[in-house]
Amino acid sequence: MRPAAVAGLVAVAAAAGLAGYWLSTRAPADPSAPPPPTRQIPAELPDFTLTDAAGEPRSIRDWAGKSLIINFWATWCPPCRRELPLLNDLHARHSAEGFQVVGVAVDFREDVLEFMQETPIDYPMLIGEQEGLDAARAFGMDNLGFPFTVFTDRSGRVVTVHVGELHAPQAEAILGAIAGVDAGRTSLEAARGEIERALAALRAEKERKSS
């Protein structure tokens, strides 16, 4: 039987996840919108170790030298589940370019393994309950919301953190900017500015189409 304390922890995380996702999708120009989650994003990739789907401990540093796409999710989170085909696609199309997708399921292990039997996931999956929450908070998520995705360059520097459901145009804009950093064509700060402008343009286009 699951410990009540752990079950309560996941229930709190679920509520926080829905709130965090709602906050991340509100239009920034809406003056009535509550402030977005407070985040102090680390400059470098924090080290953490969780067990993988085979039950083996894996450090996130096992993929040193790769530009990482670290997706924090849970089986009970609808936008998290919707992202999975996109993450499989990113893994298939960009791994040869030095990008590595790593999933971090903040959930009960048995639920994740059962879900993975029914849903193809082609990239490495790390799993943890309290340990998974601790790993998520290492990225400065004061108001924890799922899904969120961390993008690093190949040197292990955190380039950006995307909160909420990731879509293909957003992912391609972010990966394109990071590829420029990895190739030495642009600086980290310039890439962050490029990403910010690209995502703002995508939001504006979405609002224009919906108006």
Q: How many structural domains does the chain have?
A: 1
The answer on pLDDT for 8 being more than 50 is no
In this prediction, residue 61 has a pLDDT band, given cuts at 50, 70 and 90, of: very high
SS3 23: helix
**Interatomic CA distance for residues 87 and 102, integer angstroms:** 9
With respect to residue 126, please indicate whether it lies within any of the assigned structural domains.
Answer: yes
In a domain? residue 35 = no
Q: What is the pLDDT of residue 69?
A: 98
Higher pLDDT, 19 or 91: 91
Q: Looking at the predicted structure, is the pLDDT value of residue 33 above 70? A: no
- The predicted structure's pLDDT at residue 39: 57
Residue 25 belongs to domain spanning:
4-29+45-165
Average pLDDT taken over every residue of the chain: 85
Phi, psi of 46 (to 5 degrees): -70, 145
Q: Looking at the domain assignment, is residue 40 inside a domain?
A: no
CA distance 135 to 34: 26
The predicted-structure confidence for 99-141, as pLDDT tens digits, reads as follows 999 999 999 999 999 999 999 999 999 999 999 999 999 998 7
Q: Please report whether residue 153 resides in a domain.
A: yes
We report the CATH number of the domain holding residue 155 as 3.40.30.10
Instruction: Tell whether 122 is covered by a domain.
Output: yes
For residue 4, pLDDT over 60 is answered with no
Task: Record the pTM.
Answer: 0.82
For residues 126 and 103, the answer to whether their CB atoms sit within 8 Å is yes
Whether 139 is covered by a domain: the verdict is: yes
Strand partners, 67: 99
Residue 149: is its pLDDT beyond 50? yes
53 domain residue, yes or no: yes
pLDDT for the residue 105: 98
* Range 5-26 average pLDDT: 38
Residue 172 carries which side chain, given as an amino acid letter? Answer: E
DSSP-assigned states of every residue in 141-193: BSS--SSEEEEE-TTSBEEEEEES---HHHHHHHHHHHHHHHTTSS-HHHHHH
pLDDT given for residue 120 in this prediction: 93
**Alpha carbon distances (Å) from 78 to 18, 25, 90, 147:** 9, 14, 19, 9
Residue 178 lies in a domain: no
